Structure 1
Amino acid sequence: MSIIEEGSIQLVNMAYLSIIGSHTINGVAQIHSKLLREFMFKDFYELTPLKFQNKTNGITFRRWLALCNPDLFSLIMECIGEDFIQNDYQSLQIFRQYALNKNVLLRIQQIKMKNKLRLAHMLEDEYNIEINIQSIFDVQIKRIHEYKRALLCLLHAITLYNRLKKNSKVVPRTIIIGGKAAPGYAIAKKIIKLINDVADVINNDSDIGNQLKLLFVKNYRVTAAEYIIPAADLSEQISLAGTEASGTGNMKFMLNGALTIGTLDGANIEMLEECGAENMYTFGFTVEQVQQRRQQGYDPYESLKNEELRLAIDQIRDGYFSSDDRSRFHDIIDTLLRDGDHWMVLGDYQAYINKQDEVSRDFLNSQLWYSKCIHNIGAAAKFSSDRTIEEYAKDIWHCKLHKNGLPNNIKEEFSSTNHEQLSRHNSTDSFTIRDTYEEQL
């Protein structure tokens, strides 16, 4: 618990210093808070347990639904009114009652297809790639870090490619990966290069056609997200259990009607509690199983008994996707095998593939799929930032909330700006349309 770390050079432990100097410490998801209490800061928690709280993250429905997906926003307002967007976020749960309503199911499907078409047009213009809008739009957009496991998503893309090359039947997919890596994070930069090299092979293989496409979104940012998230069918939230504090992208996808494939990590666990296991695709080691395997000695080579995985690893190692430099990705293979696969990408591979196959089967049943979408939209009620701020105000800041909406002068100014930006947002296919508005916010 000492704030001075002992060693050849004495350093100040800034986390410990922050705990000592703070009246409250909170995690941003239930599992995150639990890990802080039971592992990272166990001694501090036992000394001052009342200091520790949980405040699960949230997102603003006004931006991540009303602004970026106005058609879905309008449909929800037709069904349940507009209170959920102002000061009664919990009323969004009422929308789940429409999960078997044929008219609403049809409207949800039409809205999703419209958003997919808009994104497809933008991607075709930007990347000169033809997109099949009938395919599953399978999306992973987030920082490129090993623990978030873009490699796992990529291994699935390679597996689908190999199945197609063997003339196996595959439900068409468009896999979209986006994110940025820290400038000095060499292996993350190499992962981005690998994704692009694999995409070059897949997208230019005439045997594959429009059954499978892989795309890395360059210069990913909020503006791009406002196109991608409303169009997504499947949200990839596949970090190794126990490594993601919470996440908010998972909530944005959920609110916009994408189904989640994810590990029991971060806010995924609470999303599962809200929407129900039948409406989410969970897989992989739990936090306890990760700890157990590390204690017992996790061996990534054991996973190579899986023929599809071994083939994908061999292709990366042998330069199948990098014919100009066949040793280019040896360092990535080293992290997965020689260095012990710290993030257990290989260990979770088979469970992930099995769950992805389930996703493909369910996607063919449009009534089932869009019913799950409606359940997810309604279950997103808990993840409003209004709820998060209410909890901070009540339990940490000890201040009153102003719940009567915006003052009239601000409301009029915001409405005018919002209308102008929304019109531009719906009438152009350029990523740059939101830049000035982002500066305002």
Structure 2
Amino acid sequence: MSRSTADSASSVTLPTPKERRRLREALALSEEQVAEAMGVTKATVRSWETGRSAPRGRKREAYAKLLGSFEPDGPPSTENPAVSSASPGEAEKPAAAGKPAKPRPPSPVRAQAPAPPADVRPKAAAKRAAKPPKAPSPAPAPARRADPRPQERLKPVAAEAPAPEPVRPAAPGLPAVPGLTPEEAFDALYAHAAPGLVHQTYLLSGRRRLSREAVEYAFHHAWQHWPEVAVDPDPVGWVRATAYEYALSPWHRLRRAHKHPDAPPTEANRRALLTALLELPPPYRRTVLLYDGLGLDLPETAAETEASTPAAANRLLHARTVLGKRVPELAEPEALHRRLSALVTEAPTATLPAARAVRTGSERRTRTWTRAVLGVTAVLIGVTGFTAATAPTRYIPVNAPGETVNGVPVRGGPQKLRPEDVELRDRLRAEPNPGPERLVPTAE
């Protein structure tokens, strides 16, 4: 592959990670089928859809063609031409020439990707999608129909007041604030998201001390990977996913301080809801909190929990059923949504360390681990060198002097023959037929 071809393949712009998942599900392709078509593993495709990595070179161009977002003659498109993002019954109007299209706010109804036709095979669709696309048609994209699958027929949630936009750090690809340093951007993100994340992790784990520890760990991890967090479209979601994973880790059960949850609140309604939440398995608990508590749509919830959209929908329906049985007044999805939203938006009461202390603690921890690794490496190198210098170059056998051993029993078996016995044995062997001679009768 020439340098110009590699540069052109590397310059292909891919859709956002959440849009990649949506386009794949719109094509009715599974992660295994995409991995087989691209020649990679399923874990690699999952990391592409979660934003942890991105394809490079020819794989990047082939992946864009597979998703239907590659346009060689024009600017790259992040929208699948076969699937429109308009709500049911609406069609997107093409943008006027020379005027950028205005972004459309997300709809409160969480509609899913359309179901694939029954006569189209997924592997055939993947092979057709991987081929170079034809010239784009000027006709507008058709409207998307509602998904008829029963497991994803979730009732629409009433429109809520728009949440305040999270503070985005100054980084390439994001709206930068003039004169904002990485330290100031991290401090602003910490002040905006840390108190709420402590309250959310408490709802997940039921342990206040563990929730503070999880949020501190998440921001330690974020500062260590700040170049990655700074260019992430949703830095709050990046930190939230890390805090949730740490808080729900099963290894905390082995620690005495986090073995049992804290005492439930005294209010009957809060106690019943928190107890019912803690009885759910961690993946179901996390899904219902993200969807009904934070208001994320189903594809975003599935992407953050690293599950497929149908699996996230089934988890949500099961969690709602269990919570409705435990707390009868929350049997309706709207009532559960209002209660969880009220719990999430409560004013946090936890006291957290300052953002500068979190940053310096992260840097101190990084330096400590780096020095420990360097020290252990230096010790291993020294021990290896000393062993190589002092070890013999050849094997020297050890000849121990003979010693008298007492108490050994007499050797068993026949005794040693005397000279007379040896002579008799030789004579017997020389005359194999001893005894009188054979009498032979004669005829007269």
Please identify which structure carries the higher strand content. Answer: 1
**Normalization by structure 2: what TM-score?**
0.22
Specify which structure has the bigger relative contact order, considering alpha-carbon pairs within 8 angstroms and separated by 6 or more residues. 1
**Normalization by structure 1: what TM-score?**
0.22
